[in-house]
Structure 1
Amino acid sequence: LIGHSLGGAAVLAVAKDIAEVRAVITIGAPADASHVLHHLGASLQEIEEKGEAQVVLGLKTFTIKRQFVEDVRRRSLREAISTMKKPLLILHSPLDQVVGVDNATRIFLAAKHPKSFVSLDRADHFLTDPKDAAFAAEVIGGWLPRYLAQDEPQGDEPIEHVQIMETGVGRFQNAVQAGRHRLFADEPESVGGSDTGPSPYDFLSIALGACTSMTLRLYAERKQLDLGRIQVDVSHEKLHVRDGVAGGENGKIDCFTRVISVDAELTEDMRANFVEIAGKCPVHRTLEARSMVETKIRSRDEA
């Protein structure tokens, strides 16, 4: 469990009661309930009277409900921390003006080993500087593998086809398994998704870009060309059909724009050759050709 600010207090309070939790990480977390309620200010009375209120904490607005206040008052964070029995990583900035760094000291002293504290030097409470956020992420990424088992595929053995299944998280999030590899598919927040993974059309662009890069790499090796690192940028849009181009639904056609970059200096002949070779990439050919999709429907418990 990872919690930032009030979320840090929340994960400290519940970690010992969740058997699946292997480790706990807090970022700028308060050490006691009174500190949490203090930051609600005048909104606390509104919460108690109306059941909820909009509360501004630092740079963000949160909806705080009466149940949260009651949970905070009922729980002793010090007791929860001391009996947690989970590895703990505490991240806190000595310059934090929202939740003072003394809170990190109190959490650290209350916790049992294994425990670690890392100072987010020069950071503010919300880690608004991307460099501070990146540093925190690097620390977390380096610390976690000691306590989490190596990721395993969803099944006992790699599957031969690609499997996509809804996770139940958000409106559109799907878990994707391809062989031994796992990732998420989702939609942007602008269309109702949670933006936890590439969109379906992003995956199409990924397929085209990756296949293009690999095809050019094979060509460069065969011709013994030192191209350096190959980069392919792909964008997708639906365009109105041009004269002489077969159109699809609503008179539009899918257009993938591909920009290939290499480290080597390029002659005009090389540019022309690369365009030709990129056009031979299997995914390119698949997208340009007519494909057939066969669909079958079954109940999940059917063999």
Structure 2
Amino acid sequence: MLVENANSKLNAGGKQMAYKVETELRKIGAQVKVQVREHTFLADEPLSLKGTDAGPNPVEYLLSALGGCLSITAADINSRHPEIGLEKFETEIKGRVRRFSDKTSKLDQISIKFNVVSQLDEKQQHAFIKSVIKYCTVHASLDKEIKINYLDGDKQ
């Protein structure tokens, strides 16, 4: 039996969560109205793709979701392990879309650059970032065929 949660639906055992997003194609360029709980926002395409550039496009939202999830996961781990002393956790995420001859397309590569400042030494910080990646729901949900590169912001 599912029990309503403010942010999602969670079963009584705490093992499943279900999220609900509603979308509506607007009659303005490529605009899509998105409703998530009490939050309303637009997805759109840039002018070059027949949109009105009123908001990020869906791929940019996907990459944003990944960055947001990684950051929230880092904050959660830090809250349970204050010795980490997380002062800064930033990501720069780039995605490459591959277009196929049948006119379909998909993300085939994502690069994530981390800029992390903490009380950890280099080895511990690397382990912390690996834990963040491991426990990030959005990251775990991405297609395994997408190559994901991880870059340390200090080592380019």
The TM-score normalised by the length of structure 1 is: 0.37
Match of 1:229 among 88, 97, 103: 88
CA distance 1:252–1:197, shift in 2 (3 Å): closer
Q: Relative to structure 1, is the Cα distance of residues 181 and 188 closer, same or farther in structure 2, using a 3 angstrom cutoff? A: same
What's the offset of the Cα at 1:229?
3.2
- Correspondence for 2:77: 219
Q: Indicate the residue corresponding to 1:283 in structure 2.
A: 138
Name the SS for the 2:142 alignment partner.
helix
Partner Cα distance (1:176, 1:250) in 2: 23
Q: Which has the larger radius of gyration?
A: 1
Distance 2:25 2:106 in 1: 30
Superposition pairs of residues 1-303 of structure 1, within 5 angstroms: 161-169=20-28, 171-224=29-82, 225-238=84-97, 254-264=108-118, 267-280=121-134, 281-289=136-144
Give SS of 2:20's match: strand
CA contact (8 A) 2:97 2:108 kept: yes
* % identical aligned pairs: 28
SS at match of 1:193: coil
CA–CA distance in structure 1, aligned partners of residues 144 and 86 of structure 2: 30
User: What amino acid does structure 2 have at the position aligned with 1:234?
Assistant: I
Query: Post-superposition shift, 1:267?
Result: 2.6
Distance 1:250 1:178 in 2: 27
What stretches of structure 2 of length at least 5 have no aligned partner?
Answer: 1-6, 9-18, 146-156
The 3-state SS of whatever aligns with 1:276 is helix
> Alignment length, in residue pairs?
124
Shift of 1:238: 3.3
Is the alpha carbon distance of 1:172 and 1:228 closer, same or farther for their aligned partners in structure 2, counting shifts above 3 Å? same
TM-score for the superposition, normalised by structure 2:
0.67
Across the aligned residues of Structure 1 and Structure 2, the Cα RMSD in angstroms comes to 2.9
Deviations 1:37-79 (CA, angstroms, capped at 9, x unpaired): xxxxxxxxxxxxxxxxxxxxxxxxxxxxxxxxxxxxxxxxxxx
How has the CA–CA distance of structure 1 residues 186 and 253 changed in structure 2, closer, same or farther, with 3 Å as cutoff? closer
